[in-house]
């Protein structure tokens, strides 16, 4: 990936091996120029609404783990990745667990908190990465023998196994077990300006509405959406070659 004078240039791809195994998979992506703050009134309002929203959807502390949008990831983690799903949870399960048990979502910053809200509202796993920290292109693929992953808050890396799906750039594993945990190396922080968001769905026709919701909410907190799309069986690759409007070109 390059954030060059006048534009953003990179490739993102969804490996054929994943599509052969899970033909209905869709990965939504959205690139935005963001303004990072510790908190935002609009985002805080969204956070307060999540518990009631889930209750209205019939999701609570006793049944959230068997909801189809959660159970599908649990099954995948156990049967395909060969890890214990109660120990290694998908990001959407970890998020819902906090909400339905009264802990609320993590307080990170306005951008991370916003995409976590959109994740909870759509029941789809989501992630976000600082494009200035991404090396080269981004692939969603199976891990290669010997690849190591150092997650947020971790001191000792784990070895990703060839049966486990990862997000990776040209230098590192950015996210392990599809959407279990992100790397600190590419995380959003107070200095982030250009961010790429991803949305994971194991079924078709689930991602588009979430992309629209994310884009609309980003605009409400002063961010600028630059480009978005969906990777799937019909379109597994995307070339991002975005010329920034004159007003957005860094000085």
* pLDDT in the model for residue 102: 94
* pLDDT in the model for residue 9: 87
Residue 177 and residue 89: Cα distance in Å, rounded?
A: 9
Residue 34 and residue 215: Cα distance in Å, rounded?
A: 11
List per-block mean pLDDT (blocks of 10 residues) for the chain, which spans 251 residues.
65 97 97 96 97 96 94 97 95 97 94 98 97 95 96 93 98 97 96 96 96 98 96 96 58 40
* pLDDT in the model for residue 115: 98
Predicted TM-score (pTM) of the model is 0.94
User: In whole angstroms, how far apart are CA 98 and each of 11, 25, 170?
Assistant: 34, 26, 33
User: In whole angstroms, how far apart are CA 224 and each of 9, 140, 227?
Assistant: 17, 25, 10
Residues 51 and 103 sit within 8 Å (Cβ to Cβ): no
Q: Which residues contact 179 (CB under 8 A, 6 or more apart)?
A: 73, 90, 91, 92, 125, 126, 127, 200
DSSP code of 183?
B
pLDDT tens-digit readout, 140-192: 999 999 999 999 989 999 999 999 999 999 999 999 999 999 999 999 999 99
* pLDDT in the model for residue 4: 54
**CATH code matching the domain that covers 2-248, chosen among 3.40.640.10, 3.40.1190.20, 3.40.50.300, 3.50.40.10:** 3.50.40.10
* pLDDT in the model for residue 1: 56
């Amino acid at each position: 990936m390059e954030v060059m004078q006048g534009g953003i240039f990179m490739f993102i791809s969804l490996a054929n091996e994943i599509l052969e195994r899970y033909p209905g998979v869709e990965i939504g992506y959205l690139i935005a120029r963001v303004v990072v703050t510790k908190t935002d009134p609009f985002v805080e309002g969204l956070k307060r609404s999540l518990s009631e929203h889930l209750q209205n959807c019939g999701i609570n502390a006793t049944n959230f783990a068997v909801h189809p949008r959660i159970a599908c990831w649990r099954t995948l983690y156990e049967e395909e990745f060969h890890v214990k799903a109660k120990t290694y949870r998908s990001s959407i399960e970890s998020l819902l667990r906090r909400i339905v048990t009264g802990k609320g979502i993590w307080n990170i910053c306005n951008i991370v908190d916003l995409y976590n809200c959109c994740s909870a509202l759509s029941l789809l796993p989501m992630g976000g990465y600082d494009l200035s920290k991404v090396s080269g292109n981004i692939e969603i693929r199976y891990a290669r023998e010997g690849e190591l992953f150092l997650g947020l808050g971790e001191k000792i890396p784990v070895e990703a196994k060839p049966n486990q799906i990862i997000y990776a750039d040209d230098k590192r594993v950015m996210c392990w077990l599809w959407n279990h945990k992100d790397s600190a190396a590419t995380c959003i922080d107070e200095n982030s300006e250009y961010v790429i968001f991803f949305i994971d769905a194991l079924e078709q026709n689930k991602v588009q509405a979430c992309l629209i919701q994310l884009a609309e909410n980003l605009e409400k907190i002063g961010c600028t959406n630059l480009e978005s799309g969906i990777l799937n069986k019909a379109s597994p690759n995307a070339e991002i070659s975005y010329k920034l409007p004159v007003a957005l070109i860094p000085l």
